């Protein structure tokens, strides 16, 4: 049965939107356009566009799009454009009246270097709140030391406020939230299981990604149905000027990509396949891991002004699969796969309005085949069909009004074996529809102040909420410049989530975590976030940021460890409280960048009237990163990570347990003896501190149209023995990754 809240708000929002567009003055003009690579035509996200005469600038978004909605007209302006790794350009633009002037800009790449980003866009950007926001490109990620090969999810683990449970896993936890409270979007579609190889690596090949935006709490109103973080990935469009190909091979995978122009557009196709399991022994305590996986993607773009001016159409797809097939009949087999595809339509209108419509399908299937092992059979299916419409209007006052609609049909099935041995579906929910609208207004008309007000209205919800029926998710942020070098920011918001995973926190390695709609007896998970921060530009070389946060989350679903009878619920509701402070500092000197981050955090979960620290309650985290360009195609980076010990449940010992039922007389009593593990209170132990030094060296060669790169990395350079877990059967100490060298060779034509 659907639960619909106040549908009359939908036409009201669109009426207000229409009326607001008409209130425009005629003494200013508009300048807008796209920033792209001159050789490939690929969009350049987060580039700097600066108007010299007005001392005013802005940045391109993840599509490479920029806009100046209010330029005094008529007038002639000098536009200065800059981007890391590209030659800066100076262009003259004429604004003759109130019409829209389009200026598409291309930059030529130069020798790939680590170099400072020019601060030309700082003046306008500092009016926008960027609390908890991290954005970067794949080129920047490639300069960070990597394990085996570049991995997006492992790179996220270096952001302050993000923790991880071990070297073995690419899973991450953000500001006290569990990993199922993180949303990963690929071209606006949700990825439900983003991991290969027992969660060790991401299924997203960096070769296909153009830009990355990561919000670690307090994310904008456009995003919904997660309470901790959003990772928004945009794939490349493909070379618009010529056909090209690349191939790379490392110790774990081989991959290839082909891209090129099509009539009025471009395409890109990528693929990756595991080629060896030997290196995975380092991740799995020198045990064989029969992993076989693949992933592939495609994207086609079409834009023809004769057919539809200022419009862009995109068709995209992504597929991945994992199989763990063991010859041992007493070890379980696993397989899971993802399938994501969709279409997107992006339109820039004749007025300062742009909008995007998208439809996506995201499917996930996972299964555990126990064979003769003690593993319980398990099968999970997720089918997600989602339509989104997003509209954004730029006022000549520099304010921005956004409104959008999201309609989803999400079905989950989770088949588990109960106490009687029967297979039952606990994942099917009565409601499969999720409808919501959002609206927000950004005030940028003031000289040193930026304010953002918005809310989501949940019209139809996946999970009924009998305890807290308020359908809105209000969100607010403010940024105020005390001076050109000092910015203070605050934000607050409410965030809902209707999906969860069946997660056992005590599992050291989680094979896969099945998704399901949160049961009605628990209700919608709700998070209340409060954040404050200060941003300091100490000089043109030094940038310092400090943020503090408090987050309370209610209706957090946890696996019911005390379930005895079949009538007992499979999950219980918990309350989580997280708070802490984070420090970010970056020093840029010519071709050397030094970045240091520190996080101080506390996390407490309360369930069954017991308060405890979850495994990801890491008190202190410190990351130090040095990146350097040594010239002639050489680059170097070194990273040192430190984390205080994670909580764990201590093993107190064992006691003998005898089974005399139906025992024949002629058997020894020892044949019916087993050892039962005796554990201390949950997570009252503390592991030793963790630290690790990683190193990476890269060399790039160029011969006409052929580019060759060789990347050599070394993880845990001084072979630190970091505790992973204690085997509860034997009491043996198991450590994380030892010293691990790797090499990757990539060829591009």
> What pLDDT, in 10s, does the model give residues 416-436?
876 666 777 777 777 788 999
Q: How many residues does the chain have?
A: 749
pLDDT tier for residue 555 given thresholds of 50, 70 and 90 = very high
Pick the residue with more confidence: 127 or 587? 587
Between 289 and 206, the higher pLDDT residue? 206
pLDDT confidence band for 668 (50 / 70 / 90)? very low
pLDDT at position 468 is 52
- pLDDT, position 111: 60
Res. 280: pLDDT tops 80: no
Task: Round to whole Å and give the CA distance between 414 and 378.
Answer: 7
Cβ atoms within 10 Å of 476's Cβ, excluding its own: 17
* Residue range 133-232 in CATH 2.60.40.740: no
Which of helix, strand or coil describes residue 510? Answer: coil
Partnered with residue 589 across adjacent β-strands are 592
Q: Give per-residue pLDDT as tens, 645-664.
A: 888 887 777 666 555 444 44
Residues 6+ apart with CB under 8 A from 457: 5, 6, 9, 436, 437, 438, 471, 472, 473
Range list of β-strands (E), 145-252? 162-163, 173-174, 182-186, 189-190, 195-196, 201-202, 209-215, 229-235, 244-249
Q: For the chain, what are the domain ranges?
A: 9-115, 133-232
Identify any residues that bridge with 487 across adjacent strands, giving them in sequence order. Answer: 481, 535
Are 402 and 491 in contact, with CB atoms under 8 Å apart? no
The predicted structure's pLDDT at residue 421: 64
DSSP assignment of 446-509, as one string? SSSEEEEEEEEEEEE-SS--SS----EEEEEEEEEEEETTEEEEEEEEEEEE-EEE---TT-SS
- Whole-number pLDDT of residue 21: 46
Q: Give the angle subtended at the CA of 379 by the CAs of 375 and 380, to the nearest 5°.
A: 130
Q: Is residue 28 within 8 Å of 99, Cβ to Cβ?
A: no
Is the Cα dihedral 551, 552, 554, 558 positive or negative?
A: positive
Residue 117: what pLDDT?
A: 40
What average pLDDT does the segment 457-478 reach? 80
* Residues 6 or more apart in contact with residue 704 via CB below 8 angstroms: none
Which residue did the predictor score with more confidence, 137 or 443? 443
Identical topology for domains 9-115 and 133-232: no
Could you tell me which residues come within 8 angstroms of residue 306 by beta carbon, excluding any fewer than 6 positions away?
none
pLDDT (tens digit per residue) in 493-545? 999 999 999 877 666 666 778 899 998 888 899 999 999 999 998 888 899 99
pLDDT in tens, 60-76: 888 889 988 888 888 88
The verdict on pTM exceeding 0.75 is yes
Q: What is the mean pLDDT of the chain?
A: 84
Helix (H) or strand (E) run with residue 154 in it: helix 152-156
Q: Architecture of 9-115 per CATH?
A: Sandwich (2.60)
Instruction: Write the pLDDT tens digit of every residue in 100-129.
Output: 888 899 999 876 444 444 444 344 466 777
pLDDT of 115: 46
Among the listed residues 347, 438, 457, 360, the one whose alpha carbon sits nearest the alpha carbon of residue 3? 457
Reported as a pLDDT band with limits 50, 70 and 90, residue 199 is confident
Question: Distance between CA atoms of 120 and 78, rounded to whole angstroms?
Answer: 13
Within 8 A by CB and 6+ apart from 491, the residues are 129, 131, 132, 218, 475, 476, 477, 478, 529, 530, 531, 532
pLDDT higher than 70, residue 240: yes
Q: What pLDDT was estimated at residue 284?
A: 67
Burial of 68 (0-12, 13-18, 19+ CB in 10 A): buried
**Span 362-406, pLDDT tens digits:** 999 999 888 888 778 889 999 999 999 999 998 888 899 999 999
pLDDT in the model for residue 320: 94
**Band (465; pLDDT cuts 50, 70, 90):** low
The pLDDT of residue 96 is: 81
Judged by average pLDDT, the poorest of 40-49, 140-149, 606-615, 716-725 is 140-149
- Expressed in percent and rounded to 5, the helix, strand and coil fractions of the chain are 5, 55, 40
**DSSP summary character for residue 349:** -
Taking alpha carbons only, the member of 474, 579, 467, 581 closest to residue 525 is 467
| Residue 678 confidence (pLDDT) | 75
> In 10 A of CB 595, how many CB atoms?
18
| Model confidence band, residue 23 (pLDDT cutoffs 50, 70, 90) | very low
DSSP string, 29-60: EEEEEEEEETTT--B-TT-EEEETTTTEEEE-
User: What does the pLDDT read at residue 230?
Assistant: 94
Greatest mean pLDDT range, 32-36, 362-366, 560-564, 632-636: 362-366
User: Residues near 18 by Cβ (< 8 Å), separated by ≥ 6?
Assistant: none
Two tokens, residue 536: 């300091």
């Amino acid at each position: 049965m659907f639960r619909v809240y106040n549908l009359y708000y939908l036409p009201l929002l669109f009426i207000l939107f229409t009326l607001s567009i008409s209130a425009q003055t005629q003494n200013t003009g508009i300048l807008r356009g796209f920033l792209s690579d001159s050789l490939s035509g690929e969009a350049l996200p987060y580039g700097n566009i600066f108007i010299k005469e007005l001392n005013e600038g802005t940045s391109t978004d993840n599509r490479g799009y920029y806009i100046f909605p209010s330029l005094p007209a008529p007038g002639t302006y000098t536009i200065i454009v800059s981007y890391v790794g590209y030659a800066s350009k100076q262009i003259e633009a004429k604004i003759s009246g109130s019409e829209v002037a389009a200026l598409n800009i291309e930059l030529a790449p130069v020798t790939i270097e680590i170099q400072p980003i020019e601060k030309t866009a700082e003046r306008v950007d500092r009016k926008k709140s960027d609390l908890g926001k991290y954005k970067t490109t794949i080129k920047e990620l490639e300069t960070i030391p990597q394990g085996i090969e570049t991995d997006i999810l492992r790179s996220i683990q270096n952001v302050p406020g993000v923790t991880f449970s071990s070297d073995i896993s690419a899973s991450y936890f953000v500001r006290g939230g569990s990993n199922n409270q993180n949303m990963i979007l690929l071209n606006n579609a949700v990825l439900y299981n983003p991991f290969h190889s027992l969660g060790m690596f991401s299924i997203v090949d960096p070769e296909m990604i153009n830009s990355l935006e990561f919000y670690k709490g307090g994310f904008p109103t456009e995003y919904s149905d997660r309470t901790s973080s959003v990772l928004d990935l945009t794939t490349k469009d493909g070379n618009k000027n010529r056909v090209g190909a690349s191939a790379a091979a490392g110790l774990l995978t081989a991959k290839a990509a082909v891209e090129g122009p099509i009539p009025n557009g471009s395409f890109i196709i990528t693929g990756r396949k595991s080629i060896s399991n030997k290196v995975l022994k380092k991740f799995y305590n020198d045990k064989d891991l029969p992993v076989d996986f693949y992933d592939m993607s495609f994207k086609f773009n079409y834009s023809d002004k004769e057919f539809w001016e200022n419009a862009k159409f995109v068709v995209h797809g992504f597929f991945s699969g994992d199989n763990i097939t063991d010859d041992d009949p007493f070890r379980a087999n696993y397989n899971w796969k993802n399938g994501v595809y969709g279409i997107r339509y992006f339109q820039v209108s004749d007025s300062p309005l742009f909008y995007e419509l998208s439809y996506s399908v995201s499917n996930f299937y996972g299964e555990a085949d126990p064979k003769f092992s003690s593993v319980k059979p398990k099968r999970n299916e997720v089918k997600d069909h989602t339509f989104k419409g997003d509209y954004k209007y730029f006022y000549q006052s520099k304010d921005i009004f956004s409104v959008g609609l999201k309609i989803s049909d999400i079905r989950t099935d989770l088949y588990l074996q109960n106490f009687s041995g029967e297979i039952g579906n606990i994942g099917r929910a009565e409601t499969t529809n999720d409808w919501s609208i959002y609206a927000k207004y950004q005030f940028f008309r003031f000289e040193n102040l930026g304010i953002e007000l918005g809310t989501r209205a949940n019209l139809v919800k996946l999970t009924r909420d009998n305890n807290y029926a308020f359908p809105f998710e209000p969100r607010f942020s403010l940024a105020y410049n005390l001076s050109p070098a000092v910015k203070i920011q605050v934000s607050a918001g409410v965030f809902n989530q209707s999906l969860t995973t069946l997660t056992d926190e005590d599992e050291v390695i989680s094979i896969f975590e099945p998704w399901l709609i949160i049961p009605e007896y628990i209700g919608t998970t709700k998070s209340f976030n409060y954040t404050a921060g200060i941003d300091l530009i100490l000089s043109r070389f030094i940038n310092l940021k400090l943020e503090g946060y408090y987050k309370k989350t209610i209706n957090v679903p946890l696996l019911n460890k005390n379930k005895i009878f079949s009538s007992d619920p499979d999950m219980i509701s918990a309350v989580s409280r997280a708070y802490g402070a984070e420090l970010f500092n970056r020093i840029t000197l010519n071709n050397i960048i030094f970045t240091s981050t520190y996080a101080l955090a506390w996390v407490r979960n309360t369930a069954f009237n017991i308060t405890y620290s979850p495994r990801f309650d890491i008190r202190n985290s410190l990351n130090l990163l040095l990146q350097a360009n040594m010239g002639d195609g050489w680059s170097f980076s070194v990273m040192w990570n430190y984390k205080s010990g994670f909580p764990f449940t201590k093993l107190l010992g064992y006691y003998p347990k005898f089974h005399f039922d139906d025992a024949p007389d002629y058997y020894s009593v020892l044949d019916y003896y087993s050892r039962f593990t005796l554990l201390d209170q949950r997570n009252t132990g503390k592991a030793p501190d963790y630290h690790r030094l990683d190193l990476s060296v890269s060399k790039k060669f160029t011969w006409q149209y052929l580019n060759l790169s060789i990347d050599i990395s070394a993880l845990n350079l001084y072979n630190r023995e970091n505790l992973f877990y204690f085997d509860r059967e034997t009491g043996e100490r198991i450590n994380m990754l030892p010293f691990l060298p790797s090499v990757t060779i990539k060829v591009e034509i």
